[in-house]
Chains A and B, each alone.
Chain A
Amino acid sequence: MIREVHRDFSTWNDLPWKFEAGTPAIIEAVGLGAAVEYLSVLGMEHVHAHEQALTRYALERLANVPDLTIYGPSAERRGGVVSFTLGEIHAHDLATLLDREGVAVRAGHHCAQPLMERYGLAATARASFYVYTTSAEIDALAEALERSRDVFAF
């Protein structure tokens, strides 16, 4: 925020006002409050337990999909995300194939290019779970992966 503005120079207000020009992030603050309340009502211990249970189930269920490689540690040591590749199918092709089965995943280097390099990968696909994810949806993912395999037929 300014203190004075002239035709050829300006001066700035003191900290912190200097950096707080315009409308404050009121909507964002209210939204954050609502999100915190939502999670508090659920209870973070339940959120964690649900994610852990789903992640364990996903690692178990996806282990049965032929040619699927899962990256990362065991369920206790990860959050509700599972990154994988399927045979030689490029992760972006895989994401498109899963999308048309109604399964949304992220594909790419996940803002972690050095890690991709460490694994010798161009990209992975990544499923993530949250409080509203169900184990039936993980079954749907596994089945969609099996059908994706048939499309490329390797």
Chain B
Amino acid sequence: MDDVYREYILDHYREPRNHGKLDQPDVHAADTNPLCGDRVELDLRVKDGRVTEVAFQGRGCAISQASASMLTERIEGATLDELRALTPQDIFEMLGVPIGPARQRCALLALRVLHEGIGGSYTGRYTELDEEGAGD
């Protein structure tokens, strides 16, 4: 089924990987999606420019939380430069299912939080995606 609620997405939602907080993390970032209240908090431990440990907490829809969970798996062991280079397209490929325009904000929340934390290219770009349902 070519469908956003495939089993592995729901699995990450029900049992998020790397869930929790780090004690005295090197990087801490958090953000909330203003329209729907989805929230992701991310902690990183970094050694020699490489992520050695990662944890996240959050609440919200299945797509936002599964995307965060999957991203934490991808982050571990990566260099900060690799992570700064991640694009929305990388996230959509990681999720592996088509994400409609109404749900892209949900899918990209974790990437936004990561880039807010480490100074990447994908930060604070709500307005581009905000045309639909802006009053909601």
- Asked if B61 and A93 sit within 8 Å, CB to CB, the answer is yes
Give complex CA distance A151, B5 in Å.
8
- Determine if A100 is an interface residue (Cβ-Cβ < 8 Å): yes
State which of A21-29, A105-113, A133-141 sits at the interface with chain B: A105-113
Interface of B is mostly: loop
A-B contact pairs, 10 of them (CB 8 A): A89-B62, A92-B106, A96-B100, A96-B102, A96-B103, A108-B36, A110-B136, A151-B10, A152-B5, A152-B10
- Determine if A122 is an interface residue (Cβ-Cβ < 8 Å): yes
Interface of A is mostly: mixed
- Asked if A97 and B5 sit within 8 Å, CB to CB, the answer is yes
Q: CB < 8 Å: which of A100, A106, A108 contacts B3?
A: A100
Given known pairs A90-B62, A92-B61, the reply for A106 and B37 (CB within 8 Å) is: no
- Determine if A123 is an interface residue (Cβ-Cβ < 8 Å): yes
- Determine if B35 is an interface residue (Cβ-Cβ < 8 Å): yes
Closest A residue, CB atoms, query B5? A151
- Asked if B36 and A92 sit within 8 Å, CB to CB, the answer is yes
Give complex CA distance A81, B132 in Å.
21
Closest B residue, CB atoms, query A121? B37
- Asked if A109 and B103 sit within 8 Å, CB to CB, the answer is no
A110 to chain B, nearest CB (A): 7
**A interface footprint on B72-115 (CB within 8 Å = 1, 0 otherwise):** 00000000000000000000000000001011001000000000
Q: How many residues of A contact B (CB 8 A)?
A: 17
- Chain B residues with CB under 8 Å of A110's CB are 136
Give complex CA distance A106, B63 in Å.
18
- Chain B residues with CB under 8 Å of A152's CB are 5, 10, 62
B106 to chain A, nearest CB (A): 7
- Chain B residues with CB under 8 Å of A100's CB are 3
- Chain A residues with CB under 8 Å of B35's CB are 108
**A interface footprint on B23-52 (CB within 8 Å = 1, 0 otherwise):** 000000000000111000000000000000
B62 to chain A, nearest CB (A): 5
A54-102 with Cβ < 8 A to chain B? 89-93, 96-97, 100
CB-CB nearest 3 A-B residue pairs = A90-B61, A108-B136, A122-B37
- Chain A residues with CB under 8 Å of B36's CB are 90-92, 108, 122-123
A100 to chain B, nearest CB (A): 7
- Asked if B133 and A108 sit within 8 Å, CB to CB, the answer is yes
**By CB atoms of chain A within 10 A, which of B10, B61, B106 has the most?**
B61
